[in-house]
Structure 1
């Protein structure tokens, strides 16, 4: 009697199959006469990375942009935050000011970023990946790690191609998919085989060939400073690093480097996290668009970022015990400054946080200095719970009612449709709907 089961990613089907074989054997069939050809079954870690995601997202809704040099602008149109492969070939770098980018690529098409649209496509990619895998990590807006259940190793590459092609068919987004024995190896594959690649590499001899031709800086987490330290020991390629002794890796690169070393050798050390770990801090802020020393505008930006921070506190159901305001100034106006306020008990109340933010601002701002960036940082996070209110300041019923009304209106009409009056000096910003949204607002990502 001969059985064959060599296809399909669903391990439960194989379990049912083996149970059936056991039933035949219990009825008197000699198990040695049963030949099961299920091939070399392996689990794998997958990494999916969209190719030039922001640009590709713009091309989905505007095919005119296809095959043209395209740059996506952030910071109110001041710099390039993403570029197409065609623009990259012209020497334009991520983070380059728009006026320098135009000099390098005068024929380029520059569009303003649209994060709500990017999240829509990101969620579509995530849904499709979850359909193909029982465990998916939403690592960033355009990157996912996922588990591949036991599957014939000789068919892994076709599986990678199938995942890539299905996502392109559903979303029109080009992606690269790599399947390997560990996260680090899978990411090396997608970085190496971009764009629109699909590759599986689970045999040690194949891994060795790849690692021998990649510089050690190809590894996420090994930048120039660490590479120089490794070069002193004649470690220049990924393979050189993989062949180092474990103790030397630990000595030179600490425990983080040891994890990389183990993953380079095919050991899946870092788990796939289907849910984001609890936050140790929450922050909101960034560039304010142009340098200013206008008190009303600076405070309006503080309140705007405070509203966004409170939204995150409510979403994650946490309160903060310390609020920090970091201010970055224009060239010539001096070094960064920090103002802090520590609460008697953790809170998410707008009135208390607003008073704390104002106090931190007055403590940190140098009068007349031009602010260009800021961050509001909430630390000492605690889960919302019961407190003995008689020990602390009682909430103002009017302020509580006002906050509740604002929250209800925004839940019904859209995020931040109703804002605090202190943000009125930013009316020019609010005319641009895309400014109501930030990349860090995408829920559930692991990386930040």
Structure 2
């Protein structure tokens, strides 16, 4: 059997662990720049605040709310503690996200699966002080649907096929992870409105509509666990860094500073995973809804600052729209090659000196503090580097399957 564990309002719950006075209050957790709500408590949700709304809209709907800036460094501490507890109960655990785990449900002799789910839930609350919900079923897709319906602070094992059928009949097909928007509308054209409709549909039709991924969901909904639990994270096919600026800007020097910041973070990740990239892309989003993109291939795989900057500068020029305020940027590195297997350029110049500088920069930052030593091009972003919450991002929590 497969279990799915999901923390209840994890970011809010994590803030309540260190700030007990927040218990019972409507709490909203804000993003990097404090511009929007990225998580909210059940009390704030009841006031009509939804995830992603700007802070000013949230305050209008919930003026008595308490708003705090997110701290992914702290959230990772609690996430790792939860992972330790789950690992005590199961030999095979998948670290799916910062607040979600899939694991093999293996109750000890004399304990049924329902009691097992309750014990895991209660042990995490006791040890980590985070409320979680645990669902157990014959497949991971069913387990997630069960945990979603058991929130908050629930524990439920559904192993009887008849009980599964009754549950699936009540749930809209969009409750399945990966089914939304276009896919949901496409299924509805074929009379598939509930999870049970999908499970009872012709498997070949589902494959035609949703490709092999949809067929996997079909098998899973019918109790056949075709999606395995991954105790170790598979190799990345791409790495990305970026996000919101907080305050939109049309200043080219400021936009260039964001390019350097995101590039240094991307290089940090390439070095951590010991891979080089052969292809990069840069995407810039603008306040008026426009977007620009630039792509480039490297002559040889690299993670060097000077090499990546040479190819990303033209990408930025291609993505830049003059006199239109930009508010977000993302860099993506793909065609990844393990550093040990990379074929370097025959006529590459300055390689040894550049690698020495990169190694020195890495060691200084490792010893003194993240990004203590950085490119002078980031000086327009001094306030960003002075804000501790910007030192850590959700994608910097490593080992998760879903990133």
TM-score tier by shorter-chain length is: over 0.9
In structure 2, which of residues 372, 394, 403 is the aligned counterpart of residue 439 of structure 1? 394
Give 1:247 deviation, angstroms: 2.2
The answer on whether the counterparts of 1:153 and 1:202 sit within 8 Å (CA) in structure 2 is: no
RMSD of Structure 2 on Structure 1 (CA): 1.8
Give 1:275 deviation, angstroms: 1.4
- The whole-number CA distance in structure 1 between the counterparts of 2:159 and 2:57 is 44
* CA separation of 1:210 and 1:417: change in aligned 2, threshold 3 A: same
Partner of 2:355: 400
Across the two proteins, how many residue pairs are aligned to each other? Answer: 403
Task: Classify the secondary structure of the residue corresponding to 1:391.
Answer: coil
Pairs within 5 Å for 1:103-114: 103-114=60-71
1:122-143 deviation digits (Å, cap 9, x = unpaired): 0001111111111111100000
Pairs within 5 Å for 1:395-434: 395=350, 398-434=353-389
Task: Classify the secondary structure of the residue corresponding to 1:76.
Answer: coil
In structure 1, which of residues 232, 249, 259 is the aligned counterpart of residue 206 of structure 2? 249
2:241 is the alignment partner of 1:270? no
- The whole-number CA distance in structure 2 between the counterparts of 1:153 and 1:234 is 44
2:283 is the alignment partner of 1:283? no
Pairs within 5 Å for 1:39-118: 44-118=1-75
Partner of 2:114: 157
Give the number of the structure whose alpha-carbon radius of gyration is greater. Answer: 1
Give 1:405 deviation, angstroms: 1.7
2:290 is the alignment partner of 1:335? yes
- The whole-number CA distance in structure 2 between the counterparts of 1:389 and 1:235 is 52
The answer on whether the counterparts of 1:135 and 1:274 sit within 8 Å (CA) in structure 2 is: yes
Partner of 2:147: 190
The answer on whether the counterparts of 2:92 and 2:231 sit within 8 Å (CA) in structure 1 is: yes
Give 1:240 deviation, angstroms: 2.3
Give 1:389 deviation, angstroms: 5.6
Q: Calculate the TM-score normalised by the size of structure 2.
A: 0.95
Q: Which runs of 5+ in 2 are unaligned?
A: none
Q: Calculate the TM-score normalised by the size of structure 1.
A: 0.86
1:219-278 deviation digits (Å, cap 9, x = unpaired): 112224333333334332222222222223223333222211111111111000111111
- The whole-number CA distance in structure 2 between the counterparts of 1:310 and 1:182 is 38
In structure 2, which of residues 169, 189, 192 is the aligned counterpart of residue 235 of structure 1? 192
Give 1:204 deviation, angstroms: 0.9
- The whole-number CA distance in structure 1 between the counterparts of 2:41 and 2:355 is 48
Give 1:360 deviation, angstroms: 2.0
Partner of 1:125: 82
- The whole-number CA distance in structure 1 between the counterparts of 2:83 and 2:314 is 42
* CA separation of 1:395 and 1:177: change in aligned 2, threshold 3 A: same
Give 1:151 deviation, angstroms: 6.0
The answer on whether the counterparts of 2:276 and 2:342 sit within 8 Å (CA) in structure 1 is: no
* CA separation of 1:171 and 1:322: change in aligned 2, threshold 3 A: same
2:332 is the alignment partner of 1:377? yes
1:353-373 deviation digits (Å, cap 9, x = unpaired): 122222322333233332211
- The whole-number CA distance in structure 1 between the counterparts of 2:68 and 2:374 is 28
